[in-house]
Structure 1
Amino acid sequence: MTTPATAAPGALTAVTTVHRADIRAITSVTVGGRTHELGQQRDFRRHPALSAFLPDAGRPSFAWVRLRDGEELAVHSHPTSSMILVCRGTVRLLGDGERPLTEGDVVCVPPGRLHGFRTGPGEEFHGLSVQFEGSGLYEDEGAPRVSFDPAAAGAADGAALAQGGPLADLERLNDELAGRHTRNSLFTLLRSGRLRDDPQARARFVAALYVWSSHFQRMLYARQAVCVDPLLERDYEEHLGEEYGHDRMLRDAHGVTAEVDDPVLEAACTWFVAQMFQLDEAQKVVLVHMVVETSGRLFGEAAAGIHAPNAADDFFTLHAAADDDHSRIGRHRLAALPPSEFPRLRATCRRAWSQMDLIHERIAAWIREGR
């Protein structure tokens, strides 16, 4: 009779399925003080079940990668061999041995060899990146195993200056308004420690937050329903899949039962849903991803410490991590717009931050009214 091997602590003991969307994505890394876009990269070891399943002996590493609609992963090199499998779509291999790639192609990159990838307008590339030793190339986001080619980086900077001036201005405005956002009354309450120490205040906070979380879900449903751009529709569908059910997660984990009777909060939340039927796709990218998701990341970071470490923290810790990825969705579309489009995008940015501030102020007011 064969005796089953004893599983290592934390190892999987049953057949387990992991959805691609459940592997946390990163979209950029900073190397030598310069930020480099990755498209989308999902290292398998960022998911606890996959990390437990992959062996440490030999230390293979796997990651899903994606580029679409003109996105580029600039020419770079790694200290270890890398294999890239084209699973879907088309992409151009850059660097050594430049050539077009199609579904089913396999690229083998020896250590130190220059390579990169670029999609054309309307192109989409999904691939699997495999390494056979050491940690994953971007497994440690703070210390990625990559060196970018200075010549390629300089050319990319020149292109950005030539094409992305208005977008850079919009990014600076968004950063400025985001910084101001963190000084509103709700962030002040989060920093004060009251929501951590006062159970009644914390219960009112979660009940009011649930109002906004429910409307956020409706906003994503509405956007999906009216989107006619096939590439953005796929981005939006993936985003919706990653956000789906977070309102129920908040409600169930924290036992939300109280009704929040605040017409101003309700109206401010409903405004975001209504905009999905009124704005064009570029404006929606600004509203949903530049503003709402940036607000969500900042809020998640500030709120993550108000509960004792347990499963109930999932909503807050999840948003602290995931919303940074979500805030980059659609940026390549904005970069392709002519300068004449940006005054209205700046106006959309200002209005959306004003509404987010109003939502936070009303949540803070609801908490204070419980004294």
Structure 2
Amino acid sequence: MSKRTLNKVTVIRREAIPTLRSVIVDGKEHGLGLHKDFRRDPVLSQFIPDSTRLSMAWVHLEPGETLDAHEHPIETMIVMCAGQGRMFGDVTTELLEGDVVAIPRGCAHGFVGAGTHGYWALSIQFEARGLYERPDDALVSFKDESASQYEELLRRNDQYMEEHKSNAIFRFVESERVNDAAQRGRLIDTIQVWSGYFQKVIMSRMVFGRDERYLALARQHFAGEYGHDENLAASRHGKGTPVWDPLLEACSAWFASKMLSIDDAEKTVLVHLVLEGAATVFHRVAHPIMAKFNETDHFAVHDLADDGHLEMGLEVLKGLSPAAYARCLRIQKEGWDMLNALTARMAELAEAAG
């Protein structure tokens, strides 16, 4: 059959195009999900003219399935046709149906299937053969993205910690309002509520953990944090007033509930990077201010310990898979969003007591 000699309209079903599921590069096998290069179908191979050298392939990743970060020596366009995915590498972002990704040569990128069904996309090259048209000589070099994704997780956390300093709770403790005994007392009342929920977080994390590496960390953290809610209450000599507020309860309970539904790495991010990270920046500011009232040693104790509690969770977050880092980045953002809502509500309740 010569090029473009079809004499009638022909439909080529996607499932009929031969599938490539993995490729070996530098002696290592890399999963591709489903990769269906149009030129591997005899009809399409004859129909697509060589003069344009346009190369197209269907690509599919199931939810959670990962295509490792890699680079191409040629430019590539990805057209998201159905479903959802996530991209990582030089750019980390969500991908939705209809998105078009332009990838210059030499740029690192990888993909993870997301949503309920993962995604189907078209991979298009304009100037050379398809990336995997010759599986034994693929136009791709895979990268070790673990280190860079770990650094991205820490970089974002530093950014979130810095942004947290603009939260309303900082404005409250650094203002004259903190000198009002009623407002200051109400702030500590709300901290008492959160402290009780934090105990539930660290206990649930330890009870429902599965991997021994993470369990050892959870036990170590639990030993350093257990009973701080009772210590706070005792240090106030019965001066505390119970607080019921639906937003305070909902935000606090969210963290405890997550210990039942996310994996061990995500729990580590939520507990150490988010909660201990937030506590580190807050108690560093609040301790010298609250110390002058001599009402509780809660702020002094946490100012001393929280920095170390953040760092103790870092080692187990190294060397995760791209899919695991994608989940960690997602729970990190959600956690900081909830934490900022929680602390802003604490400030509102304290101000309302004046």
Q: With structure 2 as the length reference, what TM-score do the two structures score?
A: 0.57
Root-mean-square deviation over aligned CA pairs: 1.7
Match in the other structure for 2:126:
none
Match in the other structure for 2:339:
356
Q: Which of 265, 282, 285 pairs up with 2:268?
A: 285
Q: Which of 174, 177, 180 pairs up with 2:163?
A: 180
Report whether the alignment pairs 1:251 with 2:233.
yes
Match in the other structure for 1:217:
199
Deviations 1:229-270 (A, max 9, x none): 223212211211111111111111123431212111001000
Is 214-223 or 247-256 further displaced after alignment? 247-256
Match in the other structure for 2:81:
none
Deviations 1:99-152 (A, max 9, x none): xxxxxxxxxxxxxxxxxxxxxxxxxxxxxxxxxxxxxxxxxxxxxxxxxxxxxx
Deviations 1:30-82 (A, max 9, x none): xxxxxxxxxxxxxxxxxxxxxxxxxxxxxxxxxxxxxxxxxxxxxxxxxxxxx
Report whether the alignment pairs 1:226 with 2:212.
no
Report whether the alignment pairs 1:171 with 2:165.
no
Counterpart CA distance in 1 for 2:151 and 2:318 is 9
Counterpart CA distance in 2 for 1:279 and 1:162 is 23
- The answer to whether the 8 A contact 1:304-1:313 is kept is no
Letter in 1 for 2:231: M
Kindly report which structure 2 residues correspond to 1:85-100, keeping only aligned pairs within 5 A, or say none: none
Q: With structure 1 as the length reference, what TM-score do the two structures score?
A: 0.54
- The answer to whether the 8 A contact 2:265-2:324 is kept is no
Report whether the alignment pairs 1:268 with 2:251.
yes
- Which is greater in Rg? 2
Counterpart CA distance in 1 for 2:276 and 2:266 is 14
Q: 1:220 and 1:347, CA in 2 relative to 1: closer, same or farther beyond 3 A? A: same
- The answer to whether the 8 A contact 1:193-1:306 is kept is no
Q: 1:190 and 1:181, CA in 2 relative to 1: closer, same or farther beyond 3 A? A: same
Report whether the alignment pairs 1:338 with 2:321.
yes
Letter in 2 for 1:297: T
Letter in 1 for 2:164: H
Letter in 2 for 1:361: A
Deviations 1:344-368 (A, max 9, x none): 2111110000010011011011011
Kindly report which structure 2 residues correspond to 1:318-333, keeping only aligned pairs within 5 A, or say none: 318-333=301-316
C-alpha deviation, 1:338, in angstroms? 2.2
Count the aligned residue pairs: 210
Unaligned runs of 5+ in 2: 1-143
Q: 1:211 and 1:256, CA in 2 relative to 1: closer, same or farther beyond 3 A? A: farther
- The answer to whether the 8 A contact 2:183-2:350 is kept is yes
Counterpart CA distance in 2 for 1:263 and 1:256 is 22
Match in the other structure for 1:236:
218
Match in the other structure for 2:281:
298
Letter in 2 for 1:271: W
Identity score, percent: 30
Q: 1:238 and 1:310, CA in 2 relative to 1: closer, same or farther beyond 3 A? A: farther
Deviations 1:181-240 (A, max 9, x none): 110110111111421x21111111110110001000011111111112223212211211
C-alpha deviation, 1:308, in angstroms? 4.1
SS in 2 for 1:304: helix
Counterpart CA distance in 1 for 2:285 and 2:263 is 32
Kindly report which structure 2 residues correspond to 1:77-92, keeping only aligned pairs within 5 A, or say none: none
Match in the other structure for 1:98:
none
Counterpart CA distance in 2 for 1:308 and 1:289 is 25
Counterpart CA distance in 2 for 1:233 and 1:283 is 13
Letter in 2 for 1:322: A
